[in-house]
Amino acid sequence: MKFRKRVGVGLLATTMVLSFGLAGCNSETTSSVEEEEVEISYPVEIAEIQKGELVSELKLPGNVMASKLVPVIPMLAGEVKTVRVKNGDTVKRNDVLIEIDATDVDLNISQARAGLEAAEANLKSAKSMREQSIKQAELQLQQAKDVVEMIKNADSQADIDLDEVPEELQGVFKSILGSNMPTESDKKQAETAVKQAEMALQQARGTDQISAAEASVKQAKVGVEMAEQQKTHAVVRAPMAGQISNFNVSVGEMVSPQAPLLQLVQMDEPVVQLNVNESVLPNLQVGEKVDVHIRSMNKTYEGNIRHISIIPAEQSRAYPVEIALVDPDDDLRIGMLAEVIIKPSFAVEEILVPANAVSTENNERIVYVTSDGERVERRAITIANETSEMFSVESGLAEGEYVVVRGTHQLYDGALINIRNNIGQTFESQTEEITEDDEITEDAEHNEIEEVEDEVEIEVEIEEKDA
């Protein structure tokens, strides 16, 4: 980058005007000064690269929260009959909070019990009918078998007693009596009757109807248990010990499971919850001690990191962190703004560079290094860790090198610089050379102006003589 510098132009113009006034003629005297190109020297401040431990405080915003915050939801919808607590009360586990009118629940219990009784009666009836069916089927089977035996042993009409023959086989025996001997068809008909009687007995012994009746009884018992359980829900009890909060229910109001009745708060062990970006996670460890400052109270508490979430929150993409306060007091309230002060320390010495020396260009971390105090080198570096003031460098810089810390925005690779801060004797000679060069340039400009003035005076004298 260059610019053009004109030397002695104002003085030259003034001298020419004076010469024209004295001469009183139309002649013109002109002079020009050659233009020279001068490279810009950018003023900067530099710093020496040194090794050290990267230590800095991290201040992260958070909120005071209760160790436990449990909403109490009634499991039964109904009218509030009795209220036993109010906001601010401290209760123990299983203490009665409210009572709900259970008239409808009592009716449900009576209905369920009636259903159970009906199911049990059906089961008893089914068992009785099954026993009767079995006895009748067994009797029919025995009769059918007796007929078969009678046919096999029948030699004459005198051997058969029709009174002992079942009604459905009367036709067979009348046919037998009309002839001298039973036919094969008569024997097959008798055997078929035996098989049908056996099938009837098998069906009578079946338990399908009994099983269905027993299932109905079980279902009815469950209905009674559920109805009785609903009645226990008419008395709302505290699920844990704590302080009553957000309770605004009076006698006669309706409550339901759709809306919380109140909140139970435990502030014996309050915590601070905060969300941190992934760049902060390397500075945090479970069990690490931190300070928690409550600005509204101007108090600072000691705390320990209790939990660091392994997954980020869905909306913010930040990681939830929970801090337990070591010795809290009763002044803390849910939702108070807290400032968590973390002091991470990297014990290993590293190459450190000031944060204001580093710029980001095309996703690269860039610094400008000078080795002679006159020009800079644009160099990409790799950052290991960082704080708000210093970066630790993994590669790209060495101890003892010098980087530009102010004025980097106007630099480029190979740019000429003019060091403005005192960094010791390292670049003192270079600074002196630059100062001497500036003085020489000023002297040259002054000499050029004097030469132009002399030439103008000579021209004026010549014009006067000619006149």
Nearest-10 Cα torsion for 167, 172, 177, 183 = -160
CA distance 326 to 305: 11
Does residue 36 fall inside a structural domain?
A: yes
Length of the chain: 467
Does residue 282 fall inside a structural domain?
A: yes
CA distance 400 to 46: 12
CA distance 90 to 263: 12
Range of the domain at 295: 58-67+267-342
Note whether 116 and 206 are same-domain residues: yes
pLDDT of residue 458: 59
Q: Which amino acid appears at position 118 of this protein?
A: A
pLDDT of residue 462: 58
Distance, first Cα to last Cα, the chain: 51
Q: How many domains does the chain have?
A: 4
pLDDT digits (tens, 9 = 90+) for 153-163: 665 444 555 56
Does residue 420 fall inside a structural domain?
A: no
> Nearest Cα to 386, choosing from 408, 411, 356?
356
Q: Which amino acid appears at position 353 of this protein?
A: V
Enter the tokens of residue 147. Answer: 């007929």
Does residue 83 fall inside a structural domain?
A: no
Note whether 112 and 7 are same-domain residues: no
Note whether 397 and 440 are same-domain residues: no
Note whether 143 and 37 are same-domain residues: no
CA distance 259 to 77: 10
pLDDT digits (tens, 9 = 90+) for 49-75: 999 887 667 888 999 999 889 999 999
> Nearest Cα to 247, choosing from 270, 264, 268?
264
101 close to 234: Cβ distance less than 8 angstroms: yes
Q: What is the pTM of this model?
A: 0.46
Does residue 364 fall inside a structural domain?
A: yes
Domain final residue, candidates 169, 202, 227: 227
Q: Tokens 């939801």: give the residue.
A: 73
49 close to 10: Cβ distance less than 8 angstroms: no
Does residue 314 fall inside a structural domain?
A: yes
Full pLDDT tens readout for the chain, 467 residues: 333 333 333 333 334 433 444 344 444 444 444 445 678 999 999 999 999 887 667 888 999 999 889 999 999 899 999 999 999 899 999 999 999 898 888 888 888 888 888 888 888 887 877 778 888 877 777 877 777 777 676 654 445 555 666 666 666 556 555 555 566 776 777 778 778 878 877 777 777 777 888 888 888 888 888 888 888 888 999 999 999 999 999 999 999 999 999 999 998 889 999 999 887 888 889 999 999 999 999 999 999 999 999 999 887 788 999 999 999 988 899 999 999 998 765 557 889 999 999 999 888 999 999 999 999 999 999 988 777 788 889 999 999 999 999 999 999 999 999 999 887 545 654 444 445 555 555 555 556 556 645 654 555 555 555 55
CA neighbours closer than 13 Å in the CB half-sphere of residue 222: 6
Domain final residue, candidates 177, 200, 227: 227
Note whether 145 and 179 are same-domain residues: yes
Torsions phi, psi for 315 (to 5 deg): -90, -50
CATH of the domain at 404: 2.40.420.20
pLDDT of residue 29: 43
Note whether 127 and 209 are same-domain residues: yes
Note whether 175 and 192 are same-domain residues: yes
Note whether 394 and 409 are same-domain residues: yes
**Bridge pairing between strands 417-419 and 42-48:** parallel
Which residue pairs, CB below 8 angstroms and at least 24 apart, start in 15-23?
15/452, 15/453, 15/456, 16/456, 18/460, 19/456, 19/459, 19/460, 19/463, 22/460, 22/463, 22/464, 23/460, 23/463, 23/464, 23/467
For 119, the enclosing helix (H) or strand (E) is: helix 103-153
> Nearest Cα to 370, choosing from 427, 313, 317?
427
Note whether 142 and 208 are same-domain residues: yes
For 226, the enclosing helix (H) or strand (E) is: helix 208-232
Note whether 361 and 449 are same-domain residues: no
149 close to 169: Cβ distance less than 8 angstroms: no
Does residue 183 fall inside a structural domain?
A: yes
Note whether 358 and 330 are same-domain residues: no
CATH of the domain at 330: 2.40.30.170
Does residue 399 fall inside a structural domain?
A: yes
CA distance 353 to 387: 11
